[in-house]
Chains A and B, each alone.
Chain A
Amino acid sequence: MTHVVNAPDILLIIACAAFIVGLKRMARKDSAPRGNIISAAGMVAAVAGVLWQHHTTMALTLALIAAGSVVGVMFALRVRMTAMPELIALFNGLGGLASLCVGFVALLPEAALSPITRALSATSVIVGGVTFTGSIVAYAKLAGKINTSASVFPFQLTISAAVLALALASGAWAVVSDADQQIASVVLVVASLVLGVLAVARIGGGNMPVVVSLLNSLSGVAAAVAGTAIASPALMIAGTLVGASGLMLTRVMCKSMNRSLSKVLFAGFGAVSASGREGDTSRTISPINASDAFLLLEAARSVIVVPGYGMAVAKAQHAVHELSELLQANGTDVRFVIHPVAGRMPGHMNVLLAEAGVNYDLLSEPADVNDSMGLVDVALVIGANDVVNPDARNDPASPLYGMPVVNVDLAKAAIVLKRSMAPGFAGVDNALFTSPNTRMLFGDAKASIVTIVEQFAS
């Protein structure tokens, strides 16, 4: 850092201001699009500022940025909204990879940094590495490339702790020993990468929104640590903003499922347990077909739609939108009730419904509707399970007990669209399915909705 404020520094200050203003605007719907553009402009200023200082390698740097931009734009324009969670995880992983590389380079003797800053560089390698492989595992799970449930094996936590200890030890070794710096750094990188895999592998299914937002937060922390190592306030401020806001979002997710972060990370919740699979067979379920579901809906004056991950899997959002418009044309009051952890990332359902063209004003949160649930004629549950489980309210023995849910069991009637009677990702029985007010509409959610829509048309 110099004592003179020069043009590149001013650009970096402008960048930080833009990130702050942009982020503030991102928190409100009306101003969010402009907030995103302001934040992007800040990034341009930051890159311009640093390029100014490092103009000797300008040509290569610009070429690399151009290549990365092309790839990024291609991904961003091609992705379907149903695939948004995995895209975000993938981008996040790339950010982690970049922080890992920066940390590694700052550790090199050629960078000639002080011991404290080298220790920070080693930390940046660890956080960046965990973010990188953790996000890649999350990506693979979300994209269905590997088993999405939590994979738990014996001594997993012990092994993870040992790998973390190895990462810390080799990091310290790389900092103090110039002679062994190279080998120690390589061990550090490998241990960090393994740690990310171990950490995310044991988290599955319905806990994914927590993981996705936590990894998002970590990528910011990685950038902030790397920034502290190379004494770049721009990196520190931007990275910390992301880390803090990501942590807040993670907290919101944890609260929405009434699970502590440590429970999500370490308990292996969501692993398929053999004992939880068999339901209580004494209770009966009442199936319904699409024609009768149509009659119920046609007669209803007030309908709520509760979507879940199953709607994303069936890609049913467009059919659902069409149904909601027909219902409204029929004089029915229609609202969409979206649980904060429905789906596989924070806000997943909102994105899908927005893609289908559902009016933003029709979307509500569980608390807005639960109080007046008794006035709802039909609750249409589309591929949601744990977020509508009344046991969370009634059964202290249920693993979901205490989780805020959408109380669809209190509506006059509930129609649950579901592929089969398999339990949700938590592997927990759902008393809603056997409740006297509930009718089960089995089959592909999209096909079922399309059939109901056709009945409306004729």
Chain B
Amino acid sequence: MMVLLLLILLLAAFLGIELIHRIPSQLHTPLMSGTNAISGITIVGAIACMAIEAPAAGVLAPVAIFAAAINVVGGYVVTHRMLQMFRSSKDRANRSDA
């Protein structure tokens, strides 16, 4: 079981490197804020932690969900905002023509 999990980690690591290989530097910030939002996937773990019945879990799981939700939603929205600005003026002209 553990071996399987470690293999998943290995494959995902290589995939992550390959996917953003040769990304233009113009996209560095959106990439960062976009991946930042993905790292909020911890929210899935936090939701699962709600099932554990212990006083500490009763406090920390909700805190984690709240914090991760800010991370996820804020991250995606701000990335979207940035990418909308990244259209060249050519794109803008095309849009206003349409």
Contact = CB atoms under 8 A, between A and B. Distances in A.
B70 A91 contact: yes
Interface in B34-84: 34-54, 56-57, 60-84
Given A223-B41, A237-B12, A32 B74 contact: no
Given A242-B39, A243-B16, A105 B56 contact: yes
Q: Which of A87, A109, A338 gathers the greatest number of chain B CB atoms within 10 Å?
A: A87
B98 interface: no
Chain A contact residues (Cβ within 8 angstroms of B): what range?
35 or more
B60 A104 contact: yes
Nearest to A237: B12
A46 B45 CA distance: 10
A54 B61 CA distance: 13
B51 A88 contact: no
A102 B49 contact: yes
B25 interface: yes
B50 A57 contact: yes
Interface string A244-268: 1111110010000000000000000
B64 A357 contact: no
B83 A33 contact: yes
Interface of A: 1, 12, 19-20, 22-24, 26-29, 32-33, 35-37, 39-40, 43, 46-47, 49-51, 53-54, 56-57, 60-61, 64-69, 71-73, 75-77, 79, 81, 84, 87-88, 91-92, 94-95, 97-99, 101-102, 104-106, 108-111, 116, 212-213, 216, 219-220, 222-224, 226-228, 230-249, 252, 338, 340, 345-348, 350-351, 354-355, 357, 359-361, 363, 365
20 contacts: A23-B19, A23-B34, A27-B20, A28-B27, A32-B86, A39-B76, A57-B47, A71-B69, A81-B85, A92-B71, A95-B40, A105-B61, A111-B54, A219-B39, A222-B39, A238-B38, A242-B39, A346-B25, A350-B27, A363-B26
